[in-house]
Every structure is written in C-alpha cells, then in structure tokens.
Amino acid sequence: MKKANVALDEDREKRKNYLSGKRVIAYEMIFSAGNFNKDFETTYNKNGTTRQQIFTGFTLTQSVSIQSKEVNKIEELS
C-alpha cells in the first residue's frame, strides 16, 4: 500500500505539472481521495453460477476535476 501511495503522489504531481502548463491554476484543480478496490478473478461452474473468486490484487484510482470560470480554456483540455 505504501508503494501505491507513493505512485499516486508521483502521478498527481505529473498531472499538476501538465495542467499548470495548460494555464490551469493550482486552486482550480481538485483531486479526490485515493480509492482502493480489491480485484478478483471469478470462475464459474458449467451451469454459469459462481464457483469461486480469487483475489488478484488492488486497483488504486484518483480523479481530478477542474473548477474554473474560464470555460473555453477548460474545454480545450477535454
């Protein structure tokens, strides 16, 4: 988990730098909290019912939104 948080911090900095280069001001960037989800591989019986779920790892996600009155500038980014 610690490595995942470090990677998330590094990715956040990359996104901040990219958006700053596109003239988005830091206070316009809103980053969500990191979200950890467990990943599973599901196997099924012949009749299609779940046989077992095998844990395969975690997925860590985070979203960023931009709140700005400069709509044209933000539309160019999307």
More confident residue, 20 or 76: 20
- pLDDT of 74: 85
- pLDDT of 78: 77
Q: Measured between alpha carbons, how far is 32 from 45 in angstroms, rounded to an integer?
A: 39
The gap between the terminal CA atoms of the chain, to the nearest Å, is: 31
Determine the residue type at 66.
I
What confidence tier does 71 reach under pLDDT thresholds 50, 70, 90? confident
> For the segment 18-63, what is each residue's pLDDT rounded down to a tens digit?
999 999 999 999 999 989 899 999 999 999 899 999 999 989 899 9
Q: Measured between alpha carbons, how far is 29 from 27 in angstroms, rounded to an integer?
A: 5
Q: Measured between alpha carbons, how far is 13 from 35 in angstroms, rounded to an integer?
A: 17
Whole-prediction pTM: 0.69
